[in-house]
Structure 1
Amino acid sequence: MDYSSKNQETNTHASISTFLDEIEIDNVGEEVQKLSVIRQLLQLIQADEQGCMQRVFPKLQQALNTASTEFHIETAKAFATILERRAISNHVFTQTFLPSILYHIDNRDQVVSNAWLDTLLEVTELLPVDIIRHEILHIAISKGQISQSVWHRVAACKLLGKLCTRFDPHTVKKDILPVVHSLCQDVNEAVRASICSELHHVAKGLPAEMVKPALIPILVELGRDETVQVRVEATETIVHMIPFLSQEVLKVTIIPLVKKICEQAVLAMDDTLVMVARQFGSLCLGLENCFTPSEKLWMVTYYNSMSHLGIPSHGAKKDVYFASHNMDRINARCVECRQLCAYNFPAMSKFCASNSELLEKLYPSFCDFATDPYYMVRKTIGCGIHEVARILGSNNRIVKNQVMTLLWDNMEEVLMGVVPHLGRTIDLLITSGVLGQEQDGATAELGRGLLQCDKTIRDKTHNWRLYTDFITQLESIVKCLPSDYIYTHFVSLMFDKMHKARALPCRLAAARTLLVFLRHNLKNNQRQEIRARIQAEFCMSSSCYKRMLFLRLCSIAREIFSRSYFKEHFFFLLLSRSDDKVANNRLLLVRQFPYLKSMIVMPNERKYLQTLETCIRNMAASEKDKDVTAELRLSVARLDKTDTLTDTPNMPTLEDIEDKKKFDEEIKLANMVPRPGAAIGILNAMDARRGAPQKPAERPTNYASGGGAAQKAGPASTSTQSKDSVTAGHTRVVSHSASSSHSATPSHASSTGSTHPSAPPSGKQSHMSSSSQAVVPKKPHPTFSESNSQIPSQGVQARFTQK
């Protein structure tokens, strides 16, 4: 202990000596090294506070007199950090650091002065009130006198606003309020604008009954100031002061003032208009309970006028009242106003949500935002459209059309605003009844929009993050698009992305979305076809990258499906990759062994455990790659600590409950019957929108070659198909299928249908029918237990047994 203490003391003195040596360096080339030492000041104080105060701080003060701007900025930040971390006591900070801060706020360099002023504002929030009263208050008051320079008076405004949040109402009224009144009447516009931005802090420090007589007359005067800068700050201050004002003051004084500012802003077309557009949503929501119906209508009308600034109406003449050199500036303000109006549209939707008449007046602006000539306006409304859908609820019918419009946008930036919240928006439209299995027209439009959006992102952008996000958002369409429609247009799309997407996150997102489509598919033959393609095109692929994608897909499948489903369809397929030629693929497989063991139910599922153990023994005997061998040893150690499930009823864990929920959903989905004619109804709706003759929405009678009679039988035909009696969690999966050993596997070489949104309407129905004929086997199959999953599993077992 003595040696360690001595070494620590020696290191501390060495660090301080190094610090002193660096402070004394005068060469400009060593400035970076001096800045690095300043950044370590906190650590030096924490190591030896007394030594730093005696030896370091005097040198630091001396260096600041001739230091550069960067050195001042770093030192100011270091002082604030020292107090924030409580590295020293308040008393020591007041005696040593605070005088330096107060001294350097008068620096002639504006940048240096601002840096020290920001530090003073930060420490004002951390120091005790008594220290602030004795050390800082008198300085703030003195700097606010008219005899001081403009910069000192501006600094006084910021200090006084911060002090109002620390002092009691009596001190604010007695010592600070007179200086505030004086600064509000200052001859310099920068001073008036600065103190105006601090009035809401002053209102917070005053008693509620004093806010009206002390601040409202000043606020009204500043709101009508002749200077644009002051009016801009007054507009923002009104929003911040609304919570501190009474209903009477808001109705009698603030609302007329707001209307006056809005009217002047449109006439002047200055920066005040931009601030009004920025704060308009907050103004409407803050004053909502004080508006009369006519005033609400006025606010919505004014909002609509701002939303169309810079967009001439059809046939309107060009404005000639402005000089040509001002047109660019005015157009820029108009575009910024439209973008800010689009940003505030969720707030305006909430403002008008309870009044259908106001919503109808707001709708044209919503439509114009989605088709605005400036792409940033479209992106802004796209970023907030999910909030609009959440607010409107049952009135979401006005949202659906704009979502479809934005999906057809060809600008990458616009899609970057729409795509991240697309799934949430679709869910909200489904909840409100705008989208759903029964809404053929809306659903067809959504499908076409999604396909077009996919084409735009794929062909016109190189943004793989956006593409990944879009693929992930497609998971939500299983709740509104019919299963046949998804199978025809989107399943093949996911397979195509898994094969051709360049970025690995895109392929993984496509694999996950494909598994979601598989889980929610309502037709047994289609589910079988999807699994067959996964097996043939990825599990048994000649490409090592596709086999690796299959291994990653199995990891995703464990999250999506229940244990029973995974064991039935992926367990033995996954173990079949134990003899993969690529070491990285075997490495991925070995890492999944503990998870496979944890889902086995003993003693009923002993064959799964035996197959897993045989696989491990064979790999341990034949593996030559050192990385795979090392990982295999770790997996074996984890397997020893991993317990299998049992049939005995125990207290279920959260994982068991979640697995049971997944299993129940899978049983429910397996027993659901697709809505008759759903896919045909959507195709007819698509044809109708193109102007093609609408086909009758009747259920197709020939979905499988040679299976027309079975399909015509309807629900009665499902009784001929055996169903799996599988249970979740702690029960063995048992198949009662009498036809589970058929040898024919469905073909998947043919296309699953046109996915392009502009495909010819005349061939959609026949194309889908022919595609279905090509991929559906002739014999009916069970719901869960199918030959595609049993044949490879038997092969794996046979191979392991032979070995």
Structure 2
Amino acid sequence: MAASDSAGDDSLYPIAVLIDELKNEDVQLRLNSIKKLSTIALALGVERTRSELIPFLTETIYDEDEVLLALAEQLGNFTTLVGGPEYAYCLLPPLESLATVEETVVREKAVESLRTVAQQHSPADLEQHFVPLLQRLAAGDWFTSRTSACGLFSVCYSRVSPSMKENLRSHFRALCQDDTPMVRRAAASKLSELAQVVELEYLKSDLIPMFVNLAQDEQDSVRLLAVDACVSIANLLPQEDVEQLVMPTLRQCTGDNSWRVRYMVAEKFTELQKAVGPDITRTDLVPAFQSLLKDSEAEVRAAAANKVKDFCQNLDKAHQESLIMNNILPCVKDLVSDPNQHVKSALASVIMGLSPILGRQNTVDHLLPLFLSQLKDECPEVRLNIISNLDCVNEVIGIQQLSQSLLPAIVELAEDSKWRVRSAIIEYMPLLAGQLGQEFFDEKLNSLCMTWLMDHVFAIREAATLNLKKLVEQFGSEWAENTIIPKVLAMSRDQNYLYRMTCLFCINVLAEACGTDITTRLLLPTVLSMAGDKVANVRFNVAKTLQKISPHLDQAVIQPQVKPILDKLNADPDIDVKYSASEAIAGIAGLG
């Protein structure tokens, strides 16, 4: 008898422990117990999970948000633990409670899990269990449950009976007209999802009136979400219906009083363009795009400027050039000198993409002057966005034209009095080198790169050093041996000790890029020759450089050549030189 009592106690153990842990004051302990739910459910088996664990969890929805969030997430993956899809409805009660709580992230996670569970229901179970839950949430007293309901219509609509579908559309219509802005906002955000699954006749008769109302809502936060629905609905309608059913609302959104709605239109503009097709784009969207590019709010202009290339690229080929030249380019010219730097920067990141669309002559006549103007802009981001996209133009007009027009501007930037500007152009030099090719680079830009190594600002010398490494990686070690290395090694004999130090810094990074042969044959002798430098700081860096390049040396030279020099530096009168040499000796010994 005692044994069977004990067995009975054991069978209750997981639930008893869970109850104790969930009542504990320590949030972390409660959180950990929720994260172990799947293990507990496995121990209990499917029947006891359904009859004991799920009801218990349904009654404990009163906890900290963090714990509830973990619970909402766990329950979405619980279907197999309650016995599979035919018992998935058992998970609905706790998730329904979680979908009504105050904390938004918990509700969102509960809705996500409800959507997952709904997909595992049979059509009969959807009608019997899931739809009633959705109806309760949609008619709930608190706005929290009604906002959650909005996210559940699209997952069950297509698998229920026609009468039930009508009921669901009716409920969704009520949510679109709810008194609470948060609910209307949630309905507007889910309208496009529902539009994807509703039959075309009801899309026209039921959903489009909802969309039109939401697009005229008194709250701009609701109206801007209607713009997203506009894209989905236009994609779903036959072309002839778009003009009549969607365009009046879209025109209204483009000229909305709220800049946030206009911003959303600008953000979605190329998606709208694809959805409405070439004819409506030509008659309606081109003028709308012009007005967005001239908008009074900088945020709207920047969002529209960002879309210039894509919008122009997607224009109907037969009218593309004339639409760009007559309608878009005049606006673009104004934006080049926009007072807001974010607008100019957004434009600079895409404007070069117009070159392949407009062709050689238009690029030379109309775009090059704009590029040159942007290359002289006071905002570094504008200049760099132009430089980083030079390859688009190079393909269209060729290197000769580019060099005549753009090179003076690049050189001007490279010699700018502000060191941060020089630093930024250095950063783009490897990119430029790749775009313009080795021959052009050697002829026009190589000397600039060497000049930076002798800049009076340390940050520039440092950036120039890293630049050399990237160039070698791009053009190869043979190019480095012929073009770069002789000039770098010549710096080891410069009167200014700072440039002798820069020579060592260059060797540090070039060793890795050039490989063992060049490092041993060309770089090492120069480093060794500098070990007797009269400036302690140089000797200190010789020791550091020897340690740094030793993995890239032919190991046969370490003992006869490197070690004696380090031993000599280890006996240096300067304490820092000694320390650096001893570190290098230890480091090289570690290699062996």
Alpha-carbon contact 1:419-1:470 (below 8 Å) kept: yes
Q: Is 1:303 the equivalent of 2:279?
A: no
Tell me the distance in 1 between the aligned counterparts of 2:195 and 2:58.
42
Amino acid at match of 1:573: L
| Aligned equivalents of 1:244, 1:379: Cα separation in 2 | 35
Question: Alignment partner for residue 426 of structure 1, among 360, 385, 390?
Answer: 390
TM-score by length of 2: 0.74
Corresponding position of 1:69: 65
Aligned to 1:573: 522
- 1:466-497, CA deviations, whole angstroms, 9 ceiling, x for partnerless residues? 57643443324643957433244x23334236
What is the aligned partner in structure 2 of residue 115 from structure 1? 106
> Aligned residue for 2:449?
491
Residue among 577, 589, 592 paired with 1:629: 589
Query: Shift of residue 269 of structure 1?
Result: 4.9
Alignment check: 8 A CA contact 1:491 1:517 kept: no
| Matches of 1:356 and 1:449, distance apart in 2 | 33
1:727 is matched with none
Query: Alpha carbons of 1:389 and 1:36: their partners in 2 closer, same or farther (altered >3 Å)?
Result: farther
Q: Equivalents in 2 of 1:554, 1:15: separation in Å? A: 63
Structure 2 CA distance for aligned equivalents of residues 169 and 557 of structure 1: 72
CA spacing shift, 1:195–1:571, aligned 2, 3 Å:
same
The one-letter code sitting in structure 1 at the alignment partner of 2:371 is: V
Pairs within 5 Å for 1:241-280: 241-263=233-255, 265=256, 268-269=257-258, 271-280=260-269
Please report how far the alpha carbon of residue 366 of structure 1 lies from its aligned counterpart in structure 2 after TM superposition: 1.4
Give the superposed CA RMSD.
4.6
Change (3 A) 1:19 1:247: same
Amino acid at match of 2:24: I
Paired with 1:35 and 1:392, the residues of 2 have a C-alpha distance of: 64
Tell me if structure 2 keeps the 8 A contact 1:303–1:341: yes
Shift of 1:364: 2.2
Gap change, CA 1:528 and 1:390, over 3 Å in 2: same
Determine the structure 1 residue equivalent to 2:43.
50
**Residue 99 (structure 1) aligns with:** 93
Q: Which residue matches 2:432?
A: 474
Find the aligned partners of 1:529 and 1:207 in 2 and give their Cα distance.
Answer: 69
- The number of aligned residues is 537
Three-state SS of the structure 2 residue aligned to 1:120 is helix
Q: Which residues of structure 2 form unaligned runs of 5+?
A: 1-12, 532-538, 568-584
Do structure 1's residue 618 and structure 2's residue 560 form an aligned pair?
yes
- 1:369, 1:238 → 2: CA distance? 28
Displacement of 1:38 in angstroms is 5.3
User: 1:580-729 to 2 correspondence within 5 Å?
Assistant: 584-593=544-553, 612=554, 614-615=556-557, 618=560, 625-632=585-592
* 1:229-244 correspondence to structure 2 within 5 Å: 229-244=221-236
Query: Residue 556 of structure 1 is aligned with which of 513, 520, 523?
Result: 513
Report how far residue 299 of structure 1 moved.
Answer: 2.9
Shift of 1:383: 3.3
Q: Tell me the residue number matched to 1:4.
A: none
Contact 1:471 1:510 in 2 (8 A): no
2:338 counterpart residue number? 372
Q: Give the superposition deviation at 1:285.
A: 3.1
Offset from partner CA, 1:379-408 (integer Å, 9 cap, x none) = 222333455456556554444334333332
**Equivalent position SS for 1:106:** coil
**Correspondence for 2:471:** 513
Counterpart residue number, 2:24? 25
The higher-RCO structure (CA 8 Å, 6+ apart) is 1
Tell me if the contact between 1:19 and 1:37 (Cα under 8 Å) persists in the aligned partners: no
Letter in 1 for 2:445: I
Residues 498/284 of structure 1: CA separation in 2 closer, same or farther (3 Å cut):
farther
| CA spacing shift, 1:38–1:353, aligned 2, 3 Å | farther
1:37 aligns with 2:20: no
| Post-superposition offset of 1:118 | 2.9
Within the candidate set 265, 270, 289, 1:281 is matched to: 270
- Deviation string 1:434-469 (CA, Å, 9 cap, x unpaired) is x512555413444345426x654x2479xx7x5764
Structure 1 residue 358: deviation in Å? 1.3
460 and 254 in structure 1: CA distance in 2 versus 1, 3 angstrom threshold: same
What secondary structure sits across from 1:309 in the alignment? coil
Q: Equivalents in 2 of 1:74, 1:496: separation in Å?
A: 59
Per-residue CA deviations over 1:53-111 (Å, capped at 9, x if unaligned) read: 9899689849945533344334434545x559x8886569947754322123233xx22
Whole-angstrom CA distance in 2 between matches of 1:576 and 1:514: 20
* Aligned residue type for 1:309: D
User: Residue 341 and residue 586 in structure 1: after superposition, are their counterparts in 2 closer, same or farther (change >3 A)?
Assistant: same
Match of 2:373 among 392, 405, 422: 405
Note the alpha carbon deviations across 1:735-754, whole angstroms, 9 max, x for none.
xxxxxxxxxxxxxxxxxxxx
Question: CA offsets, 1:10-60, max 9 Å, x none?
Answer: xxxx9999987654433xxx44x3466357x15x74598316998996898
Match for 1:302: what amino acid? A
Alignment of 1:773-792 (within 5 A): none
Task: Work out whether residues 434 and 474 of structure 2, in 8 Å CA contact, stay in contact via their aligned partners in 1.
Answer: no
Aligned to 2:5: none
Distance of aligned partners of 1:49 and 1:583 in 2 relative to their CA distance in 1, 3 Å threshold = farther
1:178 CA drift (Å): 3.4
After TM superposition, the runs of 4+ consecutive aligned structure 1 residues lying more than 6 A away are 14-21, 51-56, 86-89, 517-521, 539-542, 619-624
Residue 307 of structure 2, aligned match among 318, 328, 344: 344
Which one has a larger percent helix, Structure 1 or Structure 2? 2
Q: Shift of the alpha carbon at 1:373? A: 1.1
Question: How far apart are the structure 2 equivalents of 1:63 and 1:538?
Answer: 79
* In 2: Cα distance, 1:227 partner to 1:390 partner: 42
The question of whether the paired residues in 2 share the 8 Å contact of 1:478 and 1:517 is answered with no
CA distance in 2, matches of 1:441, 1:460: 22
% identical equivalent positions: 15
Offset, 1:553:
1.0
With 89-98 and 349-358 compared, the bigger mean Cα shift is at 89-98
Residue 136 of structure 1, aligned match among 118, 130, 134: 130
Question: Which residue type is aligned with residue 511 of structure 2?
Answer: C
Letter in 2 for 1:194: A
Give 1:731's aligned residue.
none
How far apart in 1 are the matches of 2:29 and 2:15?
A: 13
Contact 1:538/1:546, CA 8 A, preserved across alignment: yes
TM-score normalized with structure 1 length: 0.56
For 1:102-125, what per-residue CA distance to the aligned partner results, in whole angstroms no more than 9, with x for missing partners?
123233xx226x513432324413
Shift of 1:237: 0.9
By how many angstroms is 1:362 displaced? Answer: 0.8
Counterpart CA distance in 1 for 2:468 and 2:75 is 52
Distance 1:536 1:506, change over 3 A: closer
Q: Counterpart of 2:581?
A: none
Q: How many Å separate the matches in 2 of 1:270 and 1:515? A: 47
Equivalent in the alignment of 2:323: 358
